[in-house]
């Protein structure tokens, strides 16, 4: 197994209500799961290939709960990456070179029946964990905005974190409200639904806890 590691902020948004039932082994709010995610690798490697500074984004669409399968996905990797960096990121995101079930990418891979041809272009990912704010922008593909959940009465920011000591995605995540619009090949759109920012430190045996 190739040794690899990715560290940095990962933004995740989904079509479910705040909290995301997946985090609690529950079924999706609306019976299906649509998601858009992205990451800025501040430090990382795949074997001897450095991944520092690489950004990527993914769109996912499952017709029912994730574990029921028949999902599809698209990955877009920064066009500033080299062929070797692209190969490493794609292997990580498709669950390869990973202990079975150890990472969210490996788990998702087993539920996908359609993986669109990877794309390479400008991928902008900005995240501020301390403020529960972040954005993912890939022109013509996906536009994601995260901001703090607001108290419906006072309008004050409502801050919540999820701690998952045995999770295959993260240890801690700052929950936020997501606004999402994606275009082809999987048009998706919602406002005021679940989102979170996690500071990943992940390798072939899963995230650091």
Confirm if 195 and 38 have CB atoms less than 8 A apart: no
pLDDT of residue 57: 98
pLDDT of residue 126: 98
Peptide linkage before 185 cis (omega within 30 of 0)? yes
Q: Model confidence over 109-133: pLDDT tens digits?
A: 999 999 999 999 999 999 999 999 9
Q: Which residue has the tokens 């669950």?
A: 95
Using DSSP's 3-state secondary structure scheme, residue 47 falls into coil
Q: Model confidence over 129-179: pLDDT tens digits?
A: 999 999 999 999 999 999 999 999 999 999 999 999 999 999 999 999 999
pLDDT of residue 130: 95
Could you give the CA distance from residue 142 to residue 186 in angstroms, rounded to a whole number? 10
Task: State whether the Cα torsion 20-24-28-33 is positive or negative.
Answer: positive
pLDDT band at 39 (very low <50, low <70, confident <90, very high): very high
Q: Model confidence over 41-98: pLDDT tens digits?
A: 999 999 999 999 999 999 999 999 999 999 999 999 999 999 999 999 999 999 999 9
From the list 121, 33, 45, 115, the residue with the least C-alpha distance to 76 is 121
Instruction: Compute and round to an integer the Cα radius of gyration of the chain.
Output: 16
DSSP state of 163: E
- Tell me the helices (H) and strands (E) count for the chain, helix number first: 2, 17
Q: Quickly count: other Cβ atoms within 10 Å of residue 24's Cβ.
A: 9
Could you give the CA distance from residue 109 to residue 94 in angstroms, rounded to a whole number? 6
């Amino acid at each position: 197994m190739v040794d690899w590691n990715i560290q940095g902020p990962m933004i995740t948004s989904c079509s479910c209500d705040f909290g995301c039932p997946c985090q609690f082994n529950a079924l999706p709010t609306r019976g299906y799961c649509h998601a858009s995610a992205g990451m800025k690798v501040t430090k990382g490697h795949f074997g001897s290939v450095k991944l520092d500074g690489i950004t990527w984004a993914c769109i996912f669409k499952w017709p029912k709960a994730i574990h029921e399968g028949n999902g599809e996905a698209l990955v877009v990797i920064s066009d500033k990456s080299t062929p070797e960096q692209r190969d490493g990121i794609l292997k990580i995101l498709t669950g390869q070179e990973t202990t079975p079930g150890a990472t969210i990418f490996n788990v998702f891979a087993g539920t996908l029946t359609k993986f669109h041809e990877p794309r390479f272009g400008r991928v902008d990912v900005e995240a501020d964990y301390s403020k529960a704010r972040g954005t993912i922008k890939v022109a013509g593909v996906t536009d994601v905005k995260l901001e703090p959940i607001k108290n419906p009465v006072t309008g004050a920011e409502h801050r919540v974190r999820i701690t998952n000591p045995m999770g295959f995605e993260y240890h801690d995540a700052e929950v936020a409200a997501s606004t999402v619009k994606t275009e082809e090949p999987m048009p998706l759109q919602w406002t005021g639904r679940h989102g979170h920012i996690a500071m990943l430190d992940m390798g072939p045996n899963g995230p650091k806890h």
